[in-house]
Homo-oligomer: A and B are copies of this chain.
Amino acid sequence: MASRPATEAALPNLEKRSGKQRRKANDQTIYESIYDAVLTQRLPPGSKLPEVALGELFGVSRSIVRKALTRLAADHVIEQRPNQMATVAKPSVEETQQIFEARKTIEAEVVRLCAGALSKGDLQSLRQLIKEEKAAHESGQHQERVHRSMGLHLFLADHCPNRVLGKIQRELVLRTSIVIALYKVAGVQACFLGDDHSRLVEFIAKGKGDQAAALVREHLDTLADLLDLKDQQSTIDLASILRP
């Protein structure tokens, strides 16, 4: 049983979430289930994803599973190597920093475009999201809080007037969440940084694009600093250790 602990431990969690929907899942369902499991750390980085097991779990054949895995690989959620089981992506420290830098560039532009361009209803939804995030935070519901916190950034991505930039932003938000799950130090309340979110929404509401962009950059820098990027387990230099 020690041969593939990640698989045996995590795969059942996939069905736990959605109950007994073992029948007739399509590739989109599988895609979202795995994605969500990765984000909530039920599937930690490096977890193995055997096609047959997934197929049995969702009640479909490997064809569907393979399609979902191909899409997940295209979105950098998992890694596929020839003749080997797919594994949940395990971004390096370097890649993590680059993801944050890239997101700073894109999200700054996204909020700039959003500023003054969102409807009253959109702003209302944003304020509601922040309220729910705080509530989840205070009641200690980890998964809920992660979803709400990420939800604000996803909302901005989905409502950016530039749909192309919005989709890029969405992908980066999700990748960011993965690395946060990977490198987050225990106890840190990621992305719940003071009232950054509240201030950001107000800047957007008042059409102050430049200030919103600046705040986002600062917000992401603070977030990146909270990560424990010193943990270099995956980049151990065997030579320096074993050399006499």
Q: What is the interface of chain A, defined by CB distance below 8 A to chain B? A: 66-67, 70-71, 74-75, 95, 98-99, 101-102, 105-106, 109, 162-165, 168, 172
Contacts and interface: CB of A to CB of B under 8 A. Distances in A.
B168 A101 contact: no
Given A70-B67, A71-B70, A75-B74, A163 B106 contact: no
A114 to B, nearest CB: 14
Given A70-B67, A74-B71, A74-B75, A109 B98 contact: no
Interface centre among A67, A71, A98, A102 (most CB of B within 10 A): A102
A165 B70 CA distance: 22
For this chain, the copies found in one complex come to 2
Contacts of A98: 162-165
B67 A99 contact: no
A45 to B, nearest CB: 17
Nearest to A109: B105
A220 to B, nearest CB: 14
A101 B102 CA distance: 16
A101 B162 contact: yes
B105 A164 contact: no
Contacts of A67: 66, 70
A75 B102 CA distance: 19
